[in-house]
Structure 1
Amino acid sequence: MAGGDIEAIEIVEKRSDGTAVDDVLLELEQGMMPDSVVSACNALDDVEVLFVSRYPAGGNLMMDLEAVEELTTAAGDFDKLIDLLPATFRVDWAARVHRAKGVVYGTSAAPDVLEFVEIESPTRLEAPEDEVTLFAAARLDGNEIVVIGRRGGPEYAESEIARLGHLCGLAVTIATA
């Protein structure tokens, strides 16, 4: 490889045209810059790098099943769900927003003020006042939604939107079981 070792690969989306979007976790060699790996990848036919992000040394990437396992040990604790979402979805922050109270809980990077949005199913949200952050949301119940934010991209894949909805639904089911 061009200065890095592949640690993990996750298929994020399979498209109808036969292409796929993969999330690849690399460990770079000491002193290696990410753009050299990006250049090597972009030189390959039919390969395009959509997004590069850093994870702190020793950072723990949680997959959905690990998040569900954590939620079962903290049944009914929706704050735990919020704490799990940034690592699970590789986003910058997550928040729980109440219809009347606004943000009732958020990770440290979450905005202090977010408006409740009436949604029927998991979806991307538009925020004209913020052209940098991409938002997605899912319902917890009739009065609360979960919002996640990713600064600068990449766009949320349809599979990520579906996963967010499923994980929120599981959290509600676990809480009421």
Structure 2
Amino acid sequence: MPLLIRVELPDIPGSLGRVATAIGEAGGDIEAIEIVAHRSDGWAVDDVLMEMAPGVMPDSVVSACNALDGVEVLWVSRYAAGGNLFLDLEVVEELTTHGASALDHLVGMLPVTFRVDWAARLRRTPAGAEIVQATEAAPARIDWADLTQARTLPGVDDVTLYCGAPLTEDEIVVMGRDGGPEFLDSELARIGHLLGLAVSISRS
């Protein structure tokens, strides 16, 4: 199964090359790299998808990356998404093929696109919220949140991190990550932009 790690590193030439070399020497075969954020303080955050050589433990890759000056692994997990990072453009292309029914196909693509454990589409009701659609791991009850833009949401436990974004006037999308990592501002911006595109596609 592929391994996905999120790495913080100095935003200077050569940093990503050092990380890639360390991963290769530790037994990881890189399949894809996605830049998650360029921060104003001179740091970058990247997601790296890789396959591990037989018999090699993920800890060896984590240790190799953390041993580099200025590099820190923020998060590591198995990644059972077919071995590909599902980029935003691919989502938009897929939604475009569905046209008016694009919103009905959106939620199922969000866990892979944003590396979350689940996603759900909620509709406002007089009693609070109704779950319109949800992926398999979503909780049976999710509270409504008044949202004007994508943002993090208060957690209901010590394990899951939540974020949400408005979809339509009476609908929102909520996503959850069990055990991290935290949602970055750049990810929240992507989420808001992608949901806006989905709504536009459904109305075209």
With the length of structure 2 as denominator, give the TM-score of the two structures. 0.83
Question: How far apart, in 2, do the equivalents of 1:74 and 1:160 lie?
Answer: 25
Partner of 2:141: 113
Question: How far apart, in 2, do the equivalents of 1:81 and 1:37 lie?
Answer: 34
2:53 is equivalent to residue 29 of structure 1: yes
List aligned pairs for 1:1-177, cutoff 5 A.
Answer: 1-56=25-80, 58-75=82-99, 76-100=101-125, 101-127=129-155, 129-177=156-204
Question: How far apart, in 2, do the equivalents of 1:57 and 1:84 lie?
Answer: 11
Q: Which segments of 5 or more consecutive residues in structure 2 lack a partner in the other structure?
A: 1-24
Q: Which segments of 5 or more consecutive residues in structure 1 lack a partner in the other structure?
A: none
SS, match of residue 82 in structure 1: helix
More displaced stretch, 117-126 vs 54-63: 54-63
Q: Report the Cα offset of residue 16 of structure 1.
A: 1.0
Corresponding letter in the other structure for 1:73: T
Runs of 4+, deviation exceeding 6 Å: none
With the length of structure 1 as denominator, give the TM-score of the two structures. 0.95
Considering fraction of residues, name the structure with more strand. 2
SS, match of residue 85 in structure 1: helix
Native 8 Å contact 1:116 1:144 kept in 2:
no
Native 8 Å contact 1:72 1:174 kept in 2:
yes
Question: How far apart, in 2, do the equivalents of 1:118 and 1:58 lie?
Answer: 35
Corresponding letter in the other structure for 1:157: L
Corresponding letter in the other structure for 1:112: A
Q: Report the Cα offset of residue 68 of structure 1.
A: 0.5
Q: Give me the identity figure in percent.
A: 60
Question: How far apart, in 2, do the equivalents of 1:114 and 1:83 lie?
Answer: 17
